[in-house]
Amino acid sequence: MAESAVSSPRTAQSPAGRLYFHPVPGVGRSDHLAGSTERAEAKSAMNRTTSNPSATGAGTGDWRLQVPESARGRIRTWLWSIAGMTFLVLIVGGITRLTQSGLSIVDWDPVMGVIPPLNEAQWQEAFDRYRQFPEYQQLRRGMTMGEFQFIFFWEWFHRVVARAIGVVFLVPFLFFWLRGHLTRAITVRALVLFGLGVAQGIMGWLMVASGLVDRPTVSHYRLAAHLSLAFVIFGYAVWLARELKTGETRVAVPVGARPIMRRGLAAVGVLFGLQVVWGAFVAGLKAGAYHNTFPLMEGRLVPPTLLFMEPTLVNFVQNPIAVQWVHRVLGTILGLAVLAFFFQVLRAGADVVSRRLNVALLGLMALQYVLGVLTLIYFVPVSLGVIHQAMAMVIFGVWVWWVHHVQKVAVEVRPTIQATTRAQVPA
C-alpha cells in the first residue's frame, strides 16, 4: 500500500493549510512562491531527492543497486516469505504454548525430528519417554494416548514449520547464488538472517530444556528471549525487503518533522520492546491466571501483594502479580505515548505515508490494548492469547516500516509555500 502512496503525492498539506513539498519529479514547482534562500535550500533538498540512486537507478556505491535489477523483486518476495513464515511460526508457537503442548517432545533432533511416530509402537515409545519427565509426573498422570497425541502434534508442527523456514531460506538462497544474483552485501545480510534463525532454533530448545528438569515450566526469561528473537528475525526480514524496494520516489517533509518522527519512533520502539518482554514474562509465569479484573487488581490500582517477594526488585521480574501489573502499566504508558506521538506527527505536517502509518499505529495499538484486557478478563483463552501475540508482531511490522520510511525515504525541506488552498498552486 505504501509504495504507491510514496510516489504519488505531489503536495502535502499540513493541518494549518500550508503546502510544504513536492516529491520528485516536480522540482521547482514552488520556486516562484518561495524566498531566494528558502528556494535554494528547497532546491538542494529536492536535488538530493532526485539524485538519490534508489530513485533513479543510477550510481554504484549503493549495495542495493549492485543486486541485479531483474532479481531485486524476486529477492524481495523471498524476504517477505521469510517474514510471513516467521509470523506463522509465531502463531503456531502461541497455540503450542497456550494448549500446554510445549514439553511433549523431550528431545531435539533437528533432522530426523521432522518425522513423527508412524505406528503404534513408535507412539508408545514417544509417550513412554514423555512419562519420564516432570510435566507428566507432576501434572498429567493418567493422560491418555489420544491426549498425548494432541499435545505432541502442536509441538511437532511448531518445530516443522520453524524448520520449513530453513528450507524457504536455503533453496532460494542457493538459486540466487548460482544465478550470480547475490552480491557480497546481500549475502552478508542474508547470512545474518540465517544465523538469527539458527540461534532461534537453539534458543527454542534451551527454553524447552529448562522445563524438563525439576519443575514442569519453562524459564520465563528464555521464553522472553525466544519471543524477542522472533521479533528481531521478522523485523530484519521486513527491513531488508523494504531496503530492496529501490526506485521509490523520496518524499520531502517540513524541517522538524523528521526529528519528531525519529525521536517519537525511538521512544515508542523502546517502550514497545519492554512491553513485549514483559508480555512474555506474563505468558511464561502464567500471570494471566491471576487477578482477571481490569483496571483494578484486588480492588486497587496497585495490589497489596505487588511486592511480597524479597528483595523488592525481584518482584518486577518474578512475581506474577507484579509482572502482570508492570505489563498493564507499561501498556498504558505505551498507549498514551503513541497517542501523543500521533498528534505530534499530525502537527508536524508529515508526508502521506507517515500519516497513514500514524493512523495504523494508533489504531492497532488501541485494538491491542482492548485485546490485552479481553485476554485477561476471559482467563487467557487460546484464541485471544494467540491474537494478542500476533497483533504485537503486526504492530512491530508497522513500526519497522515507518522507521525505514523515515530513515530512507523521507527528506526534509523548509516550508516554501504559504498557500491557503491547494488550488492556488499552479499546475
Mode of pairing for the β-strands spanning 410-413 and 251-254: parallel
Query: Is the Cβ–Cβ distance between 400 and 239 less than 8 Å?
Result: yes
Interface with ligand HEM (CB under 6 A), residue total 28
Instruction: For ligand HEM, give the closer residue by CB, 264 or 415.
Output: 264
Which helix (H) or strand (E) element contains residue 264?
helix 257-284
* By the rule CB under 6 A, 222 interacts with ligand HEM: no
Q: Which of residues 293-312 bind ligand HEM (CB under 6 A)?
A: 294
Please state, in angstroms and rounded to a whole number, the distance separating the CA atoms of residues 347 and 269.
21
**283 makes contact with ligand HEM (CB under 6 A):** yes
User: Whole-number minimum distance, CB 365 to ligand HEM, in Å?
Assistant: 6
Stretch that binds ligand HEM, among 99-107, 145-153, 311-319, 374-382 (CB under 6 A): 374-382
Q: How far is the CB of 340 from ligand HEM (least distance, A)?
A: 14
Under rule CB under 6 A, residue 368 binds ligand HEM: yes
Residue 90 vs 165, nearer CB to ligand HEM: 90
Figure out which of the listed residues 335, 349, 397, 415 binds ligand HEM, where binding follows CB under 6 A. Answer: 335
Task: Name which of 207 and 417 has its Cβ closer to ligand HEM.
Answer: 207
Binding-site string for ligand HEM from residue 172 to residue 211, where x marks contact by CB under 6 A and - marks none: ----------------------------------------
Alpha-carbon distances of 51 from 48, 250, 265, 315, 347, rounded to whole Å: 5, 10, 27, 55, 29
If one asks whether residue 362 binds ligand HEM (CB under 6 A), the answer comes out as no
Interface with ligand HEM, residue 275, by CB under 6 A: yes
- Of 181, 328, 404, 414, which lies in the binding site for ligand HEM, with binding defined by CB under 6 A? 328
- Per-residue DSSP letters for 163-224? HHHHHHHHHHHHHHHHTT---HHHHHHHHHHHHHHHHHHHHHHHHHHHTSSSSSS--HHHHH
Per-residue contact string for residues 68-107; x = within reach of ligand HEM by CB under 6 A: --------------------------x---x---------
Contact between 385 and ligand HEM by CB under 6 A: the answer reads: yes
Indicate the residue among 197 and 331 with the shorter CB distance to ligand HEM: 331
Any idea of the CA torsion for 182, 186, 187, 190, to the nearest 10 degrees?
Answer: -120
Question: What three-state secondary structure class fits 409?
Answer: helix
**Which region, judged by CB under 6 A, interacts with ligand HEM, from 72-80, 128-136, 278-286, 314-322?**
278-286
**Shortest separation between residue 396's beta carbon and ligand HEM, angstroms:** 8
Residue 224 falls in which region: left (phi positive, over 0), alpha (psi -120 to 50) or beta? alpha
Question: Which of residues 45 and 334 has its CB atom nearest to ligand HEM in the complex?
Answer: 334
Residues in the chain: 427
- Contact between 280 and ligand HEM by CB under 6 A: the answer reads yes
397 binds ligand HEM (CB under 6 A): no
138 or 293: CB nearest ligand HEM: 293
Binding status of residue 279 toward ligand HEM by CB under 6 A: yes
Return the C-alpha cell found at 328.
Answer: 498493564
In angstroms, give the least distance from the CB of 226 to ligand HEM.
Answer: 9
Choice between 5 and 373, CB closer to ligand HEM: 373
Task: Check if the beta carbon of residue 92 is closer than 8 Å to that of residue 157.
Answer: yes
Q: What is the DSSP string of 20-71?
A: ---PSS-TTTTGGGS-HHHHHHHHHHHHHHHT-HHHHS--SS-HHHHS-HHH
Comparison of 23 and 94: residue with beta carbon closer to ligand HEM = 94
Taking CB under 6 A as the rule, does residue 389 contact ligand HEM? yes
Q: Considering only residues 82, 227, 261, 268, which one is a binding residue for ligand HEM as defined by CB under 6 A?
A: 227
- Cα separation, 102 vs 286, in Å, equals 14
How many angstroms from the chain centroid is the CA of residue 225?
A: 14
Provide the b/e sequence for 163-197 (b: ≥16 CB within 10 Å): bebeebbeebbeebeeeebbbeebeebbeebbebb
Angle, CA of 308, 309 and 312, to the nearest 5°: 100
Assign residue 402 a region: left if phi > 0, alpha if psi is -120 to 50, beta otherwise?
Answer: alpha
Binding site for ligand HEM (CB under 6 A): 94, 98, 227, 275-276, 279-280, 282-283, 288, 294, 327-328, 331, 334-335, 365, 368-369, 372-373, 375-376, 380, 385, 388-389, 392
